[in-house]
Structure 1
Amino acid sequence: MDDNVEQSDPVAVLEGQVWALAAVVATLRETGTGSLEEALAADPVRTAVLEAAGVVRRDGEKVIAASVLQLGPAAANVASARLSSMRQAVAAAGGEAVPGWDAQGDDVLVDQGRASAGTGHALATRVVPALSGLADRLALPGSRVLDIGTGTAALALALAQDLPHVHVTGIDYLERAVRLARRELDTAGPGPADRVEVRHQDAVDLRERDLYDLVWLPAPFLSQDVLDACLPHVAAALTAGGWLVAGTNAAPREPLLAAVAEWTAARNGGSALTSHRMSRALGDLGFQDLRRIPTVPGGPVLVAGRRPDRAASASHHADER
């Protein structure tokens, strides 16, 4: 018997990659509550899988990990995101054919929500200070942030924790997610959670004007039709000079990853919108100071744009005439 038969079977290789991903997720979860060194030492056989997958390598007695494992406190959030994706893959393999987030179990929604907490902290501590005038706006009592597709409100709560003067409104079209969000906020207790409100609302029905200083828009979780319909309303809901920050997919270079991105977007009722397409859409709406902000390697790319103030907007329309 040829010893290389199994190794040449692409399905067997894919199955091995699933287990390698499981090893990564398990290690990340343990890193979130301890140290990477402890997680690697705790299960040498699992670490051997990581080594075979190229995620870690040995230099003598020392084990050197790839950057994906060197995330510190953010490791638990990344683990939750990967775990959510794996749960969805298992559901697809089991024949669950109903698309959309409303078909996902509570455990998937909670995992995805916990993953978004890291995005909220990154927005508050790294992105907000980098956007002109935004930190000053959000330091004022009564400043407001809109979290579209709030899910279980983990991102909204993270923003409230890091930005002590803001009031965060989270909206979601999925009523069950809003119920889970209210439960999570109740569990969080008094404090920042008091400055977070959630409501059952579709982004296309947003009609508030000149209210929010910052809007977070997770584009991969919205369909292309919803994005096209809601973006003008989102722009109108911003204060003059306010910022929209949109999460977008990194454009996969590998054909397999590109195909998977399209499949998962279709199953979940979302989109595989890239940062370049989002930038064009915001430019068409008159947003200024457009910029793309990478996150972790292979992770989402943030697209930020500033709504022009009234004088600049009036001048722009006069020039067009």
Structure 2
Amino acid sequence: MSEALSAPLAEVLAVSPHRSAVLEAAGLLSWDGGSPVAHPSLVPADGPTGSSAVQARLSSLRQAVAAAAQEPSGPRGAGWAELDDEVLLHQGRASAATGRALATRVVPELPGLAERLGSADGRVLDVGTGVAALAVALARALPRASVVGIDVLQRALDLARDELAGARDVADRITLRCQDVAEVTEPGGYDLVWLPAPFLPELTLAAALPRLVAALRPGGWLVAGTNPPAGDPLRAAVDRWNAVRNGGNAFDADRMAQVLAASGLVDVRRFPTVPGGPVLVAAHRPGG
């Protein structure tokens, strides 16, 4: 998939006939005469969206390998701090697609937010910024706003600073801090707070939400990335296990909508991304 982003699929398949044979045996590839016909799941979209999708696949595969390789007597649910740099980079870069969707599809639909972020004092808080790919995507799509990215994992922030070196067009509007979201104390500091809810432990999420609500300017919006409600019991069980194993929580979009409303936010809205993908749940602080 990664190679097919920059070369025709037929050429990519021809490079390694044995690899292509495995794909064919797995039912992911067939032939129409001499032309390859790939299963739709094997064909990435074009451009940045395709690149982000490939990064997400790689992150998921690396996490699966890490889970399978873990010693039976080893630690369970150690979280992102135990994953190697490649997983952090792939997961982070995959989040760029969410940043673009947030800026181009969600922000224009939230009353007053585009105007706020179009001004020179527009501010965004990127919780769990990781390697800052989402922060970069937001800064590029919102050319006047500044973005503050926080994370508790210093190693991820070190990687983020390397990533920002390749994003000099927006790096001056991105600030990175090593900070626990449950310790945010910036009343009325932001027009938009981005919260990747599945990555936070449930206790941390409960402690952080009142602080994040207070960090919004009156009329500002909090947008939480969530997992969609899973109709398939197996998918639901795997999603819950994976989230908790990586130090997160098992809340889905339905539960997050309830939690935001209980936190005093109003006008709760949902924005699906791609089929089976994250659901962005938005709500705003009254006033403003």
TM-score by length of 2: 0.89
User: What are the Cα deviations for residues 92-124 of structure 1, in whole angstroms up to 9, with x where unaligned?
Assistant: 211254311111111111111111111111211
Question: Match of 1:260, SS?
Answer: helix
User: What are the Cα deviations for residues 191-250 of structure 1, in whole angstroms up to 9, with x where unaligned?
Assistant: 201100100000000111111111110011101111111011111101111111111012
1:48-67 equivalences under 5 Å are 63=37, 65-66=39-40
- Matched AA of 1:83: L
Which position in structure 1 is the counterpart of 2:184?
A: 206
> Does structure 1 residue 220 correspond to structure 2 residue 198?
yes
Q: CA deviation at 1:68?
A: 6.9
> Does structure 1 residue 196 correspond to structure 2 residue 174?
yes
RMSD: 2.3
- Matched AA of 2:50: A
> Does structure 1 residue 71 correspond to structure 2 residue 29?
no
- C-alpha distance in 2 between matches for 1:58 and 1:304: 45
- C-alpha distance in 1 between matches for 2:41 and 2:259: 33
Which position in structure 1 is the counterpart of 2:152?
A: 173
Q: Which moves more between the two structures, 278-287 or 252-261?
A: 252-261
Distance change (3 Å), C-alpha of 1:55 and 1:282: farther
Instruction: Check conservation: 1:144, 1:167, Cα contact below 8 A.
Output: yes
Which position in structure 2 is the counterpart of 1:31?
A: 4
Question: Match of 1:80, SS?
Answer: helix
**Higher alpha-carbon Rg:** 1
> Does structure 1 residue 160 correspond to structure 2 residue 139?
yes
User: What are the Cα deviations for residues 246-291 of structure 1, in whole angstroms up to 9, with x where unaligned?
Assistant: 1101222223222221221222111121000000011112222211
Alignment equivalent of 2:109, drawn from 130, 154, 167:
130
- Matched AA of 1:128: V
Q: CA deviation at 1:51?
A: 6.0
Instruction: Check conservation: 1:217, 1:244, Cα contact below 8 A.
Output: yes
Instruction: Check conservation: 1:36, 1:70, Cα contact below 8 A.
Output: no
Q: CA deviation at 1:80?
A: 1.1
Q: Which moves more between the two structures, 225-234 or 56-65?
A: 56-65
Q: CA deviation at 1:53?
A: 5.5
Which position in structure 1 is the counterpart of 2:85?
A: 106
Alignment equivalent of 2:55, drawn from 67, 77, 80:
80
Which position in structure 1 is the counterpart of 2:256?
A: 278
Question: Match of 1:232, SS?
Answer: helix
Identity %: 54
User: What are the Cα deviations for residues 26-83 of structure 1, in whole angstroms up to 9, with x where unaligned?
Assistant: x2x1233345565566666656655665656777767365367352221221111121
Which position in structure 2 is the counterpart of 1:297?
A: 275
Instruction: Check conservation: 1:147, 1:169, Cα contact below 8 A.
Output: yes
Instruction: Check conservation: 1:31, 1:76, Cα contact below 8 A.
Output: no
Instruction: Check conservation: 1:56, 1:66, Cα contact below 8 A.
Output: no
- C-alpha distance in 1 between matches for 2:30 and 2:231: 25
Which position in structure 1 is the counterpart of 2:242?
A: 264
Paired residues, number = 282
Distance change (3 Å), C-alpha of 1:57 and 1:281: farther
> Does structure 1 residue 89 correspond to structure 2 residue 64?
yes
Question: Match of 1:188, SS?
Answer: coil
* Richer in helix (by share): 1
- C-alpha distance in 2 between matches for 1:31 and 1:119: 22
- C-alpha distance in 1 between matches for 2:219 and 2:25: 50
